[in-house]
Structures are given as structure tokens and as C-alpha cells.
Amino acid sequence: MKKIGLLFVLLSMVLPIGNSCRKDFLEISPGGILDQYKLANERGIEALLVGAYSMLDGVSSTTGGWEAASSNWLFGSIRGMEANIGSDAGDQTDIGAIQNFRETANHSYLNPRWKSIYEAVARCNSTVMIINKAIAEGNISSEMADVYMKQARCLRGWFHFEAWRMWKMVPYLNENTDPAKVTNTEDVRPMIIADLSEGISLPDNMGLIGKFNGTVSKVLLAKALMQMNNDYAGALPLLISARSGTKPDGSPIGLAPTYGEIFDIVNRNGVEAVYTVQYSVNDGSGGYNGGMGEVLNFPYKPGVSPSGCCGFFQPTQEFVNSFTTLDGLPLLDYRYNSLKYQNLRDQGVPGGNEWDSLKSYDRYPYYEWDPNYFPGHQGCTVYDPARPFTDMAYVSKIFNNSGNNPLKSKDTWTLKWVEDNFKAVDPRLDWTVGRRGIPYWDWGVHTGSDWIRDQSYGGPYSPKKQVYKKSDVGKYTETGNWTTGFTANGYRMIRYADILLMTAECQIETGDLTAALANINLVRMRAANPGGFVKESDGKTPAALYDIKPYPSFPDQEYARKALRMERKLELGMEGHRWFDLNRWGITVEELNRAIAYERKMPWGRNLYWSAVAGPEDVTYPIPQQQIDLSRGTLVQNR
């Protein structure tokens, strides 16, 4: 999807050709000014709509890139304790303030996000005005005007909803708004709902994959009803109807056969992707159209891991632990963070394949347990000649201790190795998180700390869902730029599994636990077929112990809520939803402080969470001070 600036350049090159012999050809509009007289037709309206759609990624030449990314990797996932900032202590330090709930109104990431959203709103309003002008001049049929208008208004509603769920107290701007009288004290939810409602009567087959259609609009309206009004009864029929809809190009939707294939670039518009924000590369834009918002979020090791830049967006230990299963089911009571069930990490173990291939104790240092020794190698190695090393697993367990587990005897360590070697996890873990010893797309096995910029700062894990394959380089990644992290792997804004889980949430809140159970189990049973994770040594042995089963029943509504909330965490983790989900459920403060208390115990926790406390004000972000200043007092702070 090209940015609107490129389209205006093309229009400015084409339009003068047809007018060059007219008497008024010397009456040239000033450069850089949108000439509405030349756009009040189908061609011009299409160009304006493309410009509005192009803002769905949050990126433009005037609003920034990763600071405004609408994939919400920062505002939804890092804020929601799914991921740490990553990289190192000196890089993009303002992200740490958002992670620690210490951001102020002058935070450098908030103003670009605000500007991005309201630039998008302005583009929608320009489109509405030109549609009205084209109607008045008879340049467009009423049928086409209706289709264009519904798209423009639905887009405008979505962008306002994005602002609302960030700041709550936001201004609503339509094509008739007087900029000098804009305020943010009015309840804008009815106007947002009205705009989004315009799209639900759009055809399902719009002929192009990147446009909103009736199916997409129903999902967006349902999401807004749930988030803004807890209107589950109103959202439910929209979601049920959307399940039998199509993609915007008329192709079918449904659950992908395997979980991992959803995130492969070649499947960016696959059956699971109900709506994907379209990215493109090597198109002359210099990377602006190629996932610029996510360009920081790739493993760090230059020449070996994907991109070589920049090591941000590292999954938290608390999030990784959530994938532990017992008898195929998640631990809904948070036992997954206990010593018995937490997923052990290779924190402090030197990285690289050479460590994985060592067979003898002679090559490993010997440590006695020191309960006061916190950073670096946590724990002790124990000489046990009856148990030679056969792979990295035992080493990882030995070095893995987090500083709060004073195991001392070799018998205890051996027993612990046996227990942990057969610890079961949800297979979605290894499609979401890169961890040592597990295949990472076609890049080979993740080899630990040499993929991580600074383990002591961000922890031992890598992001994975948005990362491209080695075989994608040059074809689906930008060439000639400072990093190959500009990719065509569009953001899956709506997944079919998300529709199923939102439907289940509505059914739980309206009392239909049987239907909710069926929908959640559909998602879980697809996850039971992960695909791809076998040991390189034989090509068939599972790389880890995977165990996932359907829920047999929901005994009551509260249990069903816990199951639904966990399922969204496991299914949609690292996709920018978590903080917004917590806000909708009204559990943001308690849930984040619980996760912080655990993460603070990690070797990296003292750096990232030493002062972190989530308070009641942290269900919103502060309104950018620059916007309040520019408004000359008509906008007021929301805290």
C-alpha cells in the first residue's frame, strides 16, 4: 500500500498533461497544496482513500515509524507485560518509561502516536469532503459514493477508537469540525460507534484485499462495543455474522490448519488473516511501506540471526511461563510462576553451538552454590560422573537458577533435571518465542545468548511471530537499507481466532457457557497441530514436550472468564492486544503488579522493574503536552 505522498506526486505528474492546452493552464495551484477541484471524481477519491488506508500501520513521513506503530508492540504488548524493552540500557530509553509506568505527557513516543492517528482522521475527513463535492457536481454515481463514504467513515471511526483506547479523553473531528473549537471533554463514544456502524452494510467482496468490507467492519464495531461500553449483547450478533463472512477480496476465512503458518510472510493474506494491514518492500519508498513500525524487533546477532537489529521486544519470563500445561491445560491459578512449573531459562550460559555440542564435564566451570551471588551464572554445577552431558538441556537447567532457588545437592539437581526435561508446554510457545535449543524458522536452532544483545538487561528470549525466514531475504525484505527488518509481513489486524475468542467472551458475559466452551476449544485444538518443531538431529523427534487438550467443561462463569483470558494471552501473545484486553476486563492494575512482582525477581528484573508500580492512572496514557499547548487550552489533560 503506497503512502499518499507518492500518490499525490503521481497525480501532479498526470493531471497537467490533460490541461496543458486550456486557456487557464497558467493558473497553477501552489506546490504541496491539495487541489480538491482535481480530486472530486472516482480516481481522486480512490487516491484519497488509499492515503487513509495507508495510515493503518501508523507510519508516515511526518509522524515517525516505530514510535507510532499501530501494531501496538509497545503500547499493548510491552505495556501489558508480555515483553521487555530488550536491546541494552542505553538504547531507546523512553520505551523503558512506558514499561515502568513512569511516562509523562512529554514522552517522546506519545506525540508521534497522537499525530499519526489524527493525520489519519484528517485524511478520512478530506475524503468525505471530496465525496460530497463529487456528488454535488454529478461526477460520481450515488452507488459508488455510498461505498466510498462508508469506507471513509468506518476508517474514521476506527482511528478515533484507536485514540480512545489510548487516552479515553480525546477529541472527535469530522469534516465540519472547527479546529479552533476542538475539545476533549465530550463523550465521543456515540460518534465513534456511528462511524463504525456505517461500514457493516458494505459488500463482503470489495474486490481488493486491503479495503474494509462488511465482515471487517462488523468485527471492528464489535471490538469497539466491547471495549468502550462492555456491550457484549450488542457485539455478539455482529461477531456471529462475521464468522460466515469473507476477506475483502471475497476469499474465505477460517482457522489456518496449523498455528505456525499464520505468521509466515507467504500467508500474510492466508485464510486466518481476516484483515491484514498491507506492507510492501522494494517499491521505491525506502522502507516506509515495509513494516517500519516493527523494524527494531528482530534478534540481534549480526550475520546469523534475522536482521541483526535491534534486539527489542523480548518476551518476559512471566509470559513464557504462562505456556506451561498440566494434563494439557493451562494453570489458571498462576502456578506457572512457581519453582515447580516455571520454564527454565539459559540466562548466563554462553551462547553458540559449540556449547551445545560439548559432552564432558571437563569443559564446564565448577560452581558451589552461593545464595548471595545474583547476576551472571545463577546456581551451581555439580560433578556427577554417572550423568554425562548429552546435550544442552542439563547445562541450561544448572545455569538457569534465578537467584531465588537455593538448590544445593547434586541429588536435588539431578532430580530437577529429570522433572524439567519432561515439563509440558503449549506448542504455541515456540511459534511465539525464540528460545535456546528450538528451531527458529529456517535460521537453524536458536543458540542462546549470542542471539541476544544483552541478556542481563532484556532476558534470554527473542520475538518470533513478526520475523521473516532466511529464505525470504531480498524477496520479502527491503534491500539496500540499513537493515533487512523492513518486511512485507503485514500486520494481522484481525485474525479468525480473535473473532472466535471475542465471540466466546461475549457468550460468557451473556451466560452461554456451552457455546463459549466450543469456541475456545476450536482455538485450542488448532493449536494442538503446531507444525515444524522437531529436533534437527533426526528430523522427527519433537523439539520439546508439547501437550494441549480441550477444556472438558466450564463449571461456572468465573472459571470460563479465566479460561478465556488465558486463551487470549496464549493465542494472541506478542500481537499488541494484552494491555487493551486487561483494560476491558477491568483488571489492569492487579494483573500488571502481579506480573511485575514476579519479573522483578529475574536477573534482569532489577534493571527493568526496580521502580515499576502500576496505578489506577495507568489504564490510559497521558495526553501529549505538545498537543495541549498547540490547542491553547481547549484540550485538557486526562490525569
- Can you tell me the distance from the alpha carbon of 520 to that of 550, in angstroms, rounded to the nearest whole number? 8
Given this model, what pLDDT does residue 51 score?
95
- Can you tell me the distance from the alpha carbon of 64 to that of 56, in angstroms, rounded to the nearest whole number? 13
Given this model, what pLDDT does residue 88 score?
78
Beta carbons of 59 and 51 less than 8 angstroms apart = no
Digit-coded pLDDT (tens) for 503-531: 999 999 999 999 999 999 999 999 987 66
Q: How many CB atoms lie within 10 A of CB 507?
A: 24
Beta carbons of 432 and 421 less than 8 angstroms apart = no
Phi and psi at 9, nearest 5°, equal -60, -45
Give the DSSP per-residue string, 511-570. Answer: T-HHHHHHHHHHHHHHHT-----B-TTTSSSBSS-B-----S---SHHHHHHHHHHHHHH
Given this model, what pLDDT does residue 383 score?
34
Phi and psi at 612, nearest 5°, equal -75, 125
Q: In the chain, which stretches have pLDDT less than 70?
A: 1-37, 348-350, 353-422, 530-539
State whether the Cα torsion 109-110-112-113 is positive or negative.
Answer: positive
Exposure string for 529-563, b = 16+ CB within 10 A, e = fewer? ebebbebeeeeeeebbebbbebbeebeeeeebbeb
Phi and psi at 16, nearest 5°, equal -60, -25
Domains (range + CATH), the chain: 1-16+39-201+586-639 (1.25.40.390)
**Closest CA relative to residue 36, chosen from 47, 25, 50, 26:** 47
- Can you tell me the distance from the alpha carbon of 89 to that of 87, in angstroms, rounded to the nearest whole number? 7
10 Å CB burial of residue 21 (0-12, 13-18, 19+) is exposed
10 Å CB burial of residue 12 (0-12, 13-18, 19+) is middle
Given this model, what pLDDT does residue 170 score?
98
Beta carbons of 150 and 216 less than 8 angstroms apart = no
Upstream peptide bond of 380 is cis (omega within 30 degrees of 0) = no
Digit-coded pLDDT (tens) for 211-236: 999 999 999 999 999 999 999 999 99
User: How many residues are there in the chain?
Assistant: 639
Q: Which residue bears the cell 532476558?
A: 459
Q: How many CB atoms lie within 10 A of CB 468?
A: 25
Given this model, what pLDDT does residue 87 score?
82
